[in-house]
Structure 1
Amino acid sequence: MVPRFTPAARTGTALAAAAVLALALGGCGGTTKNSAGAAGSSAPVSRASADPDAPTKTGLTVAFLPKQVNNPYFTIADNGGKAALASLGETYKEVGTTSGTDTAGQVSYLNTLTQQQVSAIALSAQDPGALCTGLKQAMANGIKIVTYDSDTNADCRQLFISQAGAEALGRSEVELLGKQLDYTGEIAILSAAQTATNQNTWIGYMKDELKKPAYAKMKLVTVAYGNDDAQTSFQQTQGLLQQYPNLKGIISPTTVGIKAAAQYLDGSKYQGKVKLTGLGTPDDMRAYVKNGTVQAFELWDPAKLGSLAAYAATALASGQITGAPGQTFKAGSQGTFTIGADGVVVLGEPTVFDASNIARFHF
């Protein structure tokens, strides 16, 4: 069963404004603009005309290819896609590697799906460019390509479903930690893989945010990589605190990383002394908020992200949209979405979770 996401108050007006701006500029797609994709993408995907009044086809097969199939975050997201497809009368399937850094394996699964002639593929890319040859081959064979969570180069897919505005996410992570540290001290970032497009884009905005005068007394000492593996992320957290004895805070913009870092801090002398924030699920982080290991973190609803990817893939395969900016499509109870620059669709604003509201959320 897909975990249910209970509505709650959103983040402050500054974050909301940033998210709106990100939507207007194209959110986090695969370009050098406010994006979670790769920089320097080439010409846009060729797009034929769309018929917004075309009926939704049934019997389509939409395959989800996440970065990592045994990652709880992607289980929630892809189950959201599964539920959406079931409501539309489509067939869902999920394939993928058990490692978040097995790009060759992801390419292999992509090629197999192309051979199987599925109707559409929803992909969370481990690398922005490595899958492009396979993705272009799939599109040449009439398969619709939607990326979600982590983008490719913009010319390698029709749409990117972005979690939230990339700039809003990156800057808000720094803001969350800055408030907890009184804007003073050494900090580190615990990321996923070095090639993860969404992570790298968010980190770029984090670094830019840290250039502001308000953060003059905060210093980013390093970026570590846990490869979205719990044990590796745990060990990286331990290593950060050994290498940087004056470390005051950690940002981990990955659900696997923040949980592993919280586990380490919770059982160490640094519990309550080194601040931790990032992107996590309420169910993973609830105990650490309750005992004071973590004060606040944020995330969007992964199930809604997967659901939106499924609706977008179905609209593409039905000929209702092509991925051109300005086109709109319906996503069930989530409402109507407009495609932005470079084929980017933004899910919405993230939610900040802390002791005051985390009990209301379950996913």
Structure 2
Amino acid sequence: MKHRTALLAALTLALGAAALAQPALQKGITIAFLPKQVNNPYFTTAWKGGQAAIKEFAGVGKQVGPSDAGASSQVSYINTLLAQRQKAIVVSASDANALVPYLKRAMGQGVKVVTYDSDVAKDGRNVFVSQASADTIARDEVKLLAKQIGNKGEIAILSATPNATNQNAWIKVMRDELTKPQYKDMKLVKIAYGNDDDQKSFTEMQGLMQAYPNLKGVISPTTVGISAAARYLSGSPYKGKVALTGLGTPNQMREFVKNGTVQGFALWNPEDLGYLASYAAAALVSGQITGKEGEKFSAGKLGQRTIGKDGVVILGPLTVFDKSNIDKFNF
């Protein structure tokens, strides 16, 4: 009995020492979010989560960014944030490489860089907070569309900008998924780019139908693109005849699901993505993590998270939204 008591005491001390080994989160950490677009509902929701986390650990946060989705537009904001001596920058990159020199300069000055939603080359940031693995997202999108069109017919992809890191990673995996035997009767005929602009995405969807009148389905892995495409289809003769799926928010897509334009689409909770990104930034600034594989940090209500290969932290799996569940969500 004495031996067991001593063992428990030793274990308690060891756990206590381990807990003490990781420094507490600093107070007053300044964190700036830099999304692709500040007027995009998706990023507005992500920032809501980011703000909630910052409030929890008594930090100071703000969001700045362009109204368009061009990489060059983000550069000036990075330079301004450097001049303001922010402790951390949380950025969703419009281009995988264009921002890297500026982000490397920021890291050289001691600023911690977290990418979320859309990554840069790994030497341009400390940690990437990913929605889910690129592989999972892309393959699930193909499976979802295939189910809706009976694994047969011409399909297209309506993407965001041609240089968007996340979009291109997903498209690469989608192409690979489509080579599998079960998709032999599905043919990818076009990849169109709406530049994450509502009107351009609407026009691109219209153009797809004019150029490919036999089109059976479209994947739009961008919240701006899928809602614009749904708006076009809902007022066209193709409503209910051409399947549309992709990544969207329930509040954007609810009317199109209910009126029969869209059967189902998917997404993670962008609010949780922003929340997790804030905690990752705070953990970096506080010295709890450096971005190495295997490191762990606490992310408030999302629990403990582990950094994976190449400094990637994954939020979690996709949720498919359809008529059966869409009213349960409000974001």
Name the TM tier (shorter chain): over 0.9
CA contact (8 A) 1:52 1:321 kept: no
Partner of 1:54: 23
Equivalent residues in 2 for 1:1-363 (5 A)?
53-101=22-70, 103-363=71-331
Which residue type is aligned with residue 172 of structure 1? D
CA contact (8 A) 1:276 1:294 kept: yes
Which residue type is aligned with residue 331 of structure 1? A
Which residue type is aligned with residue 135 of structure 2? E
Which residue type is aligned with residue 334 of structure 1? L
Alignment CA distance shift 1:279-1:321 (3 Å): same
Taking only aligned residues, the RMSD between alpha carbons, in angstroms, comes to 0.8
Q: Which secondary structure state, in structure 1, belongs to the residue aligned with residue 290 of structure 2? A: coil
- TM-superposition CA deviations, 1:97-147 (whole Å, max 9, x none): 00012x212011001111111000000001011111110110010000000
Query: What CA distance in whole angstroms lies between the structure 1 residues aligned with 2:194 and 2:230?
Result: 13
Query: What CA distance in whole angstroms lies between the structure 1 residues aligned with 2:280 and 2:325?
Result: 31
- TM-superposition CA deviations, 1:5-57 (whole Å, max 9, x none): xxxxxxxxxxxxxxxxxxxxxxxxxxxxxxxxxxxxxxxxxxxxxx8520210
Q: Which secondary structure state, in structure 2, belongs to the residue aligned with residue 227 of structure 1? A: coil
**1:275 offset after TM fit, Å?**
0.4
CA contact (8 A) 1:52 1:320 kept: no
- TM-superposition CA deviations, 1:169-199 (whole Å, max 9, x none): 0011010000111100000000000000000
CA contact (8 A) 1:187 1:220 kept: yes
Query: What CA distance in whole angstroms lies between the structure 1 residues aligned with 2:183 and 2:73?
Result: 41
CA contact (8 A) 1:77 1:302 kept: yes
**1:79 offset after TM fit, Å?**
1.4
Which residue type is aligned with residue 214 of structure 2? N
CA contact (8 A) 1:323 1:339 kept: yes
Which residue type is aligned with residue 194 of structure 2? G
Q: Which moved more, 1:283-292 or 1:307-316?
A: 283-292
Which ranges in structure 1 are unaligned for 5 or more consecutive residues?
Answer: 1-50
Q: Which structure would you say has the larger RCO, counting Cα contacts within 8 Å and 6 or more residues apart?
A: 1
Higher helix share: 2
CA contact (8 A) 1:171 1:209 kept: yes
Q: Which secondary structure state, in structure 2, belongs to the residue aligned with residue 345 of structure 1? A: strand
Q: Which moved more, 1:215-224 or 1:104-113?
A: 104-113
Query: What CA distance in whole angstroms lies between the structure 2 residues aligned with 1:322 and 1:201?
Result: 25
Query: What CA distance in whole angstroms lies between the structure 1 residues aligned with 2:189 and 2:239?
Result: 20
CA contact (8 A) 1:230 1:256 kept: yes
Query: What CA distance in whole angstroms lies between the structure 2 residues aligned with 1:172 and 1:119?
Result: 37
Which residue type is aligned with residue 339 of structure 1? I
**1:211 offset after TM fit, Å?**
0.2
Which residue type is aligned with residue 79 of structure 1? K
Q: Which secondary structure state, in structure 1, belongs to the residue aligned with residue 81 of structure 2? A: helix
Partner of 2:16: none
Q: Which secondary structure state, in structure 1, belongs to the residue aligned with residue 216 of structure 2? A: strand
Which residue type is aligned with residue 199 of structure 2? Q
CA contact (8 A) 1:52 1:319 kept: no
Partner of 1:15: none
Aligned length, in residue pairs: 312
Query: What CA distance in whole angstroms lies between the structure 1 residues aligned with 2:258 and 2:25?
Result: 46
Partner of 1:20: none
Which residue type is aligned with residue 97 of structure 1? P
- TM-superposition CA deviations, 1:227-271 (whole Å, max 9, x none): 000000000000000000110100000000000000000000000
Larger Rg over CA atoms: 2
Query: What CA distance in whole angstroms lies between the structure 2 residues aligned with 1:326 and 1:155?
Result: 18
Query: What CA distance in whole angstroms lies between the structure 2 residues aligned with 1:132 and 1:184?
Result: 41
Query: What CA distance in whole angstroms lies between the structure 2 residues aligned with 1:267 and 1:54?
Result: 57
